[in-house]
Structure 1
Amino acid sequence: MSAKPTVTFFGATGGCAGSALAAALADGFICSALARNPAKLYDQLRTYHNLDLETISGTLTVITGDVTDATAVVSVLMSFPGGRPADVFVCGVGGAPALQWSIYPITLVDPHICEKAAKCVVDAVRAIQSADVPERRDWRPHLTVVTSTGIDDRHEDVPFLFRPLYHWLLAVPHKDKRIMENVVVNAWMDRPGSTSGCLGGFTIVRPSLLTDGEELGSPVVRVGAVDPPVYGGNVIAAGQAAKDDSKNEIRGPAVGYTISRRDVGKWIFENVIRQGSGDGWRNKLVTLTY
């Protein structure tokens, strides 16, 4: 890995990944991003994050495409000079909310968007690794995804007053986030034909209810973490309780009400991108809140 890792972003027009991208560009990191609407991304970086055009154009490559398109995902991962794929990925993909006539009234326009995104990114990594190029065979990127609190079956990370919102109103979107987490953790553990996963590591970021507020900074942000549920070498399926927590080092989640997208993105930059490997948050499920 170079002195500064190369970084690819998915869902960068969203607040969390977009803020992480802006911080990385401002610090001189070489980045790429996949965007369905590149003009929207450029506009957000200039107006919302106050980056000048020279900073953006000098260090960012934007590929037009969708995160569920395998060809586009491979293209953005391989868009760096020298032919080596990105060292670090950040995925902040989320779905547009929609209402439905159901016991669970809130759904998504695509209720499986996070699952599809995670599977497509993992499949792209495996495709690149399987190509007949020797320097790519030992390539193991670090993947960070943004999910949510309220989806952990082992640890309660939502305040009591918010539990109806999370466990009832948001049940459908949270199911999609939970599956996304399982895809990522399983990709870290299991690679067909190998004893190691296709990912070198992961960091799953679970923020509290997201706001569009100003960045308050690390002194205000509270952080907690737990290990992924693992038993007998296999990741436990969604909805199944951990059979042996003694095998996991549990720090415990941080429980709170809200956090701004700006602070989530800045935390990802400082604690994952800057190190290139997640540092102390490597292979952890991290909760962020005020």
Structure 2
Amino acid sequence: MTTSSRFIAFFGATGGCTNAALVHTLNAGIHVRALARTPSKLTDMLLAQGISQATIDSQLTIIKGDIASMPAIKSVLLSDKDHTLTTQIMSGVGGTPQLRWSIKRPVTIDNPEICATTTKNIVQALHEIYAEHPSTATHKPSIVIISTTGVSDVREDVPFGFQTMYHVALADPHKDKKVMEKIVTENAIGLDAVFRGAIAVRPSLLTGDQNIKGGKGWKSLRVGQEDKPAIGYTIHKADVGEWIFEETIKTDGQRWFGQKVTLTN
């Protein structure tokens, strides 16, 4: 598979929101490098969405590995052909929800620190890349992460009917999202920043799958920010992916740098 001098780095590319964003990105002719534990799964998902094998071969480089592999992460971020660094990172890594016998914490995930661990490893990989290839530090990438509503310390962004579910039942997976956001924020400011900008996307309760024909369209969404959130019950994964593409990948997303963006129907 080939690459170009400009590309977007994708983590969690088989997840619903992220996969939808990837489909739109490839349809726009943009080159991508993506991490996947099972490359054939990602390829099959894209083919099912109408992405041709020719497009996959010419625009997508899939790096086999997981978020625990520093060499694999660095290969996603940095082209092995000409040592070109990605211009933007799209991270939608998440765990699989699991139920357990607990009244206070009935929902956990298979890897309860997956979001924080992924983000820490991306930061570490960038530090190593800047040290090994100093010229790359002059063109640092931005990052977009998929978080969730219900983690704000500023303003309640979950409707009253969902607050018990979010703040009690989902407390453990949401703790991981909060740590992820903190890591990204801390590494997007100051002299030691590894990102030139960061955007946290906080969708309301996700429904549907990655099928880009299944949503209502990104223009139908209500959009807010942390101090004035858009409060709603649900949102289709495909619409989140399309919004991310239209507002942060297609346009570079600079207008949203430093923001925690709430999305809902």
Identify whether the pair has TM-score above 0.5, normalized to the shorter chain.
yes
RMSD, aligned CA: 1.6
1:271 is aligned to 2:247: yes
Give me the TM-score of the superposition, normalised by structure 2: 0.93
Give me the TM-score of the superposition, normalised by structure 1: 0.85
Aligned length: 257
1:135 is aligned to 2:135: yes
CA offset digits 1:83-125 (Å, max 9, x no partner): 2111100000001111223321111111111110010011111
Map of 2:200 onto structure 1 = 204
- CA–CA distance in structure 1, aligned partners of residues 250 and 80 of structure 2: 18
Retained in 1: the 8 A contact 2:5–2:84?
no
Give the counterpart letter for 2:87 in structure 1. D
Structure 1: which 5+ runs fail to align? 227-249
Q: How many percent of aligned residue pairs carry the same amino acid?
A: 41
Q: CA deviation at 1:5?
A: 4.6
Map of 1:105 onto structure 2 = 106
Retained in 1: the 8 A contact 2:89–2:141?
yes
Retained in 2: the 8 A contact 1:185–1:202?
yes
Secondary structure in structure 1 of the residue aligned to 2:24: helix
- CA–CA distance in structure 1, aligned partners of residues 83 and 137 of structure 2: 13
Map of 1:261 onto structure 2 = 237
Secondary structure in structure 2 of the residue aligned to 1:157: coil
For 1:111-260, what aligned pairs fall within 5 Å after superposition?
111-131=112-132, 133-190=133-190, 195-212=191-208, 214-226=214-226, 250=227, 252-260=228-236
Give the counterpart letter for 2:107 in structure 1. I
Give the counterpart letter for 2:38 in structure 1. N
- CA–CA distance in structure 2, aligned partners of residues 80 and 72 of structure 1: 11
Q: CA deviation at 1:216?
A: 1.1
- CA–CA distance in structure 2, aligned partners of residues 53 and 166 of structure 1: 40
Map of 1:67 onto structure 2 = 67
- CA–CA distance in structure 2, aligned partners of residues 4 and 254 of structure 1: 37
Q: CA deviation at 1:270?
A: 0.7
- CA–CA distance in structure 2, aligned partners of residues 155 and 127 of structure 1: 37
Retained in 2: the 8 A contact 1:155–1:253?
yes
- CA–CA distance in structure 1, aligned partners of residues 98 and 215 of structure 2: 28
Structure 2: which 5+ runs fail to align? none
- CA–CA distance in structure 2, aligned partners of residues 30 and 121 of structure 1: 20
- CA–CA distance in structure 2, aligned partners of residues 19 and 165 of structure 1: 26
- CA–CA distance in structure 2, aligned partners of residues 219 and 273 of structure 1: 16
Give the counterpart letter for 1:122 in structure 2. V
CA offset digits 1:11-57 (Å, max 9, x no partner): 0000111111110101100101000011000000111x221111111
Map of 2:258 onto structure 1 = 283
- CA–CA distance in structure 1, aligned partners of residues 59 and 162 of structure 2: 41
CA offset digits 1:169-208 (Å, max 9, x no partner): 1010000011000010011125xxxx25111001100000
- CA–CA distance in structure 1, aligned partners of residues 218 and 119 of structure 2: 28
Retained in 2: the 8 A contact 1:202–1:283?
yes
Secondary structure in structure 2 of the residue aligned to 1:83: coil
Give the counterpart letter for 2:149 in structure 1. T
Q: CA deviation at 1:209?
A: 0.5
Give the counterpart letter for 2:251 in structure 1. Q
Secondary structure in structure 2 of the residue aligned to 1:204: strand
Give the counterpart letter for 2:99 in structure 1. L
For 1:28-47, what aligned pairs fall within 5 Å after superposition?
28-47=29-48
